[in-house]
């Protein structure tokens, strides 16, 4: 029954890989952020990296961009396109991104 064990191991490994691959699946809107906010280190840009940032900070910033409390050149126009729930989901996903 060695085959059975190996099979189970192979299947489990693939399932685990599959799960981790799917966790990269971004909530609606999140994939667009890295058009301006560098997803990888080593890009020199005045625009902040968001990967690995605290989710609550991102939500607060987006809320304040939307209400006009926080000054910005462009994020007010973008933040207004997302509901609180959408913003929270995007922020949680960004916070979970390593690089």
Partner 1 sequence: MQRIDQRYSAHRLSRRGFVKAAAAASALLPLPAIAQGAAGRVVVVGGGFAGASAARALKKLDPRITVTLVEESNTFTACPFSNLVIAGMRDLKEQQFGYDKVAASGVTMARSTATAVDPQARSVTLANGSRLSYDRLVLAPGIDIRWDGLPGYTEAAANVMPHAWKAGEQTLLLRRQLESMEDGGLVVISAPANPFRCPPGPYERASLIAYFLKAKKPKSKLIVLDAKDAFSKQRLFQNAWKELYPNLEWVSLSSGGKVTSVEPASKTVVTDFARHQAAVANIIPPQKAARIAELAQVADRTGWCPVDAMTFESKQQQNIHVIGDAAIMGAMPKSAFSANAQAKVCAAAVARLLAGQKPDEPRLINTCYSVVAPNYGFTVAGVYRPKDGVLVDVEGAGGVSPIDAPAAARAAEASYADGWFKTITTEAFG
Interface with partner 1 (CB under 8 A) = 2-3, 6-7, 9-11, 13-15, 17-18, 21-22, 24-29, 31-40, 42-47, 73-74, 77-82, 86
Shortest reach from residue 12's CB to partner 1, in Å: 10
Q: What is residue 66's three-state secondary structure?
A: helix
Q: Which is nearer to partner 1, 11 or 56 (CB)?
A: 11
- Cα Rg of the chain (Å, integer): 18
Q: How far is residue 94's CA from residue 99's CA, in Å, rounded to a whole number? A: 10
Neighbouring CB atoms inside 10 A of 19's CB total 9
Q: Which is nearer to partner 1, 18 or 57 (CB)?
A: 18
Shortest reach from residue 42's CB to partner 1, in Å: 8
Shortest reach from residue 57's CB to partner 1, in Å: 20
Asked if 60 and 67 touch (Cβ cutoff 8 Å), the reply is no
Q: Which is nearer to partner 1, 38 or 53 (CB)?
A: 38
Shortest reach from residue 88's CB to partner 1, in Å: 14
The tokens of 99 are what? Answer: 């690089």
Q: Which conformational region is residue 38 in: left (phi greater than 0), alpha (psi within -120 to 50 degrees), or beta?
A: beta
């Amino acid at each position: 029954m060695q085959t059975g064990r190996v099979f189970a191991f192979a299947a489990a490994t693939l399932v685990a890989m599959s799960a981790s691959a799917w966790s990269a699946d971004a909530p609606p809107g999140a994939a667009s952020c890295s058009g301006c906010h560098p997803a990888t280190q080593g890009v020199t840009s005045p625009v902040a990296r968001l990967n690995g940032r605290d989710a609550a900070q991102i939500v607060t910033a987006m809320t304040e961009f939307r209400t006009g409390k926080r000054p910005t050149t462009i994020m007010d126009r973008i933040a207004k396109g997302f509901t609180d729930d959408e913003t929270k989901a995007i922020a949680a996903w960004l916070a979970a991104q390593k690089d």
